[in-house]
Chain A
Amino acid sequence: MQVESYDAIVVGSGISGGWAAKELTEKGLRVLLLERGKNVEHIKDYVNATKAPWQYPHRGGRTRAMELAYPVLKRDYPLNEKNLDWWASDQESPYTEVKRFDWFRGYHVGGRSLMWGRQSYRWSDFDFEANAREGIAVDWPIRYADIAPWYDHVERHAGISGSREGLPQLPDGQFQPPMPLNCGEEMIAGRLQRQFGGRRRIIPGRTANLTRPLPGRSPCQYRNACWLGCPFGGYFSTQSSTLPAAVATGRLTLKPYAIVTEVLYDRDRKRATGVRVLDAVTDQTTDYSARVVFLCASTLNSTWLLLRSATDVWPGGLGSSSGELGHNLMDHHFRVGAQGRLEGLDDKYQFGRPPTGFYIPRYRNLFGDKRDYLRGFGYQGGASRQGWSRAVAELGVGGAFKDAMAQPGPWSIGATAFGEMLPNHANRVSIDTARKDKWGLPVLAIDCATGENERLMRRDMMNDMAEMLEATGVKQVRTYDREYFPGMGIHEMGTARMGRDPKTSVLNAHNQVWDAPNVFVTDGACMTSTACPNPSLTYMALTARAADFAVSELTRHNL
């Protein structure tokens, strides 16, 4: 039987895969986009997007039956009644936790681009230079100047709203107008600016929600229901943004229910020839060939695929010659911060439900500041008037109590820190050959823990927020550390890092696997360090950059 042939195969249809498909098709390639899960059609399949909150039997919460069915997902907020259909089944797709690792996955067209937090920040040279400066892991093979034009490119198409602040550690971009701070946030932002001489700043969150229309998409309607899918196309997802662009070229073939089980490798030509696909419904195996392969299957699944490929040449898998494949797994550690009560704004309120809050860019270990740990953290937070749920802890029953609780309560403000996690060779994934998923495929074993640097950083992450709140007149300040386990950030990164030397890295500066230059890995697996701002915008930029490079190399017959 003739093998179906394409110019390029993209594995995975989430944030990175959608971008790869868009860029490669727009540059003239015939692309096969493979997705292991079901299709989710834009708008049509957002079945709960316009459902009223009271129409959920448990009002959006979780039942014991759901907890039994989702032993991992139940560990944090994703287990819920509203979009459960978009979270991968822990039972169909188990994995082995050598140490606790919370892996929250989206196995469908669009992947986690449908449910993501949408916070979108550029990284800076403080991030790209950190490993080299401190002698940690290996140096990033790129600098800000290499990626800056690609940030420009992806921001324009994705639509990022945000304010221009002129901060060297958080570069400005091609922003749509920001979603403004509300009265409470604005008041504290002003005081913080004065108290810390501008070194610590509250700025509007930069978010992939539109404040101006883009072709085929409306601005945000301020419903704050993004993770049900947006019928207005108000936020960036594969479905709202990259997939329609790729489809419009007429060169895209999208194939759902296609589990890629192996990258096919020609040891003589030292090139990948295509991929092997297991049909998730029929269990049939089909090979597809292509001149280039983009792995965008999400951090751990892209690495799972490499670990299983070309094992006749390298028993440890494609890219394992460095000894680093599967290693240096990272995440952002968080769930620590402070909150308190704002006074003096009882006659103020807000209208509309913006899908973002404020951001406090990193200030630790920068500009002369020196701590007993490396790197830093940023905060995401918000101010709002308390809702009726304050009634649970308050004394009161009866009519006056009910009517009072139907009114907005006092203003609260709080923020949670997101901290950088250092790369560590010991944090790794491997194939657990003893355990199989629903399709008989061996699963990943994950062995990852935070270390001393993260522990020391968390003290500042908690105490700094309390300090800032108290310095700005916030009352009843309380700190919290709700305990963090790797994976909870849903920012998994690393395991196939970029670098300058094939002996110590899996990918080169253009995301090519050193051992197979026509295989590109452009999702979170490629990251050499985590910085502290959210990573998705950087995946987009790296993917677009790698796609441009791949096409130019194809043109030069170098692949």
Chain B
Amino acid sequence: MESMIDRREAIRRVTALLGGMALVGGGSSLVSACEQAQRGAAGARGGAGTFTTRDIAFLDEIAETILPETKTPGAKAAQVGPFMALMVTDTYDEREQATFRDGMRKLDEACKAMHHAAFLDATPPQRLVLLEQLDREQKAYMDARHGDDTPAHYFRMMKELALLGYFTSEIGYTKAMRYVEVPGRFDPCVPYTPGDPAWAPHA
């Protein structure tokens, strides 16, 4: 039973970071803790290569395509590319890092196949069409995977890191969402108008 959990660890280190507040937004740290996935024996086996400036620019554009500037700033403004590189380097194990690095290459290849242009040379609409396809691909792959020992799809990794990097950035907290450091009161039931941004969590 433990080995089954261990196999699922790879992606969970990041997922659990995402997940704490998903269910129990107002919960105590104790309650949140209960909701978090177990993060057990994932190995920490040294790093793969470092990310070049061009790699980071590449990740920035992926993140910006997933989370572009709208009425609120996008992922590039929130420096999500460098964050993704940092997280891959510091928190992914070797196998995950290899999947991620290989994924960067695959994504560029897929862009060339679809648009006859490298991802950095493609137009924003071309990038979006590509990532929409990769998103469908990763979702089908991940939904079928369920408890499997195979690595996560590389685009799931990218999307997850982009979301984490964006929504936990200062821009994510204060521009995309609403953040009050010291609420000072608890209103247990207030009206909500569709379109209003979420109140950001603290922890």
Using a CB–CB cutoff of 8 Å, the interface residues on chain A facing chain B are 50, 52-54, 57-65, 67-68, 74-77, 79, 82, 115-119, 179-183, 186, 205, 207, 221-227, 334-335, 337, 339, 346-357, 380-393, 395-399, 401-403, 405-408, 412-414, 416, 482-483
Contact = CB atoms under 8 A, between A and B. Distances in A.
Contacts, number: 291
Interface of B: 1-2, 5, 13-40, 42, 44-45, 65-72, 74, 86-87, 90-93, 128, 131-132, 135-136, 139, 142, 156, 159-160, 163-170, 172-173, 176-177, 181-203
A391 B163 contact: yes
B183 to A, nearest CB: 4
B16 to A, nearest CB: 8
Given A57-B86, A63-B90, A406-B177, A386 B22 contact: yes
Nearest to A185: B188
B75 to A, nearest CB: 8
Contact of B186 (A226, A334, A352, A483): A352
Contacts of A357: 24, 26-28, 31
B24 A74 contact: no
A91 to B, nearest CB: 14
Contact of A407 (B182, B190, B198): B198
A385 B189 CA distance: 12
A237 B26 CA distance: 21
5 contacts: A53-B201, A349-B190, A350-B26, A385-B25, A408-B199
Given A391-B163, A416-B35, 8 more contacts: A50-B181, A74-B39, A77-B32, A224-B29, A350-B186, A380-B34, A392-B18, A408-B198
A382 B24 contact: yes
B195 to A, nearest CB: 7
A402 B191 contact: no
Nearest to A55: B170
Contacts of A57: 86
A180 B186 contact: yes
B189 A118 contact: no
Given A222-B184, A388-B198, A403 B71 contact: yes
Contacts of A382: 23-27, 31
Contacts of A186: 188-189
Given A117-B29, A407-B194, A181 B188 contact: yes
A354 B66 contact: no
B25 A353 contact: yes
B198 A402 contact: no
Nearest to A350: B188
Contact of B202 (A76, A353, A405, A407): A353
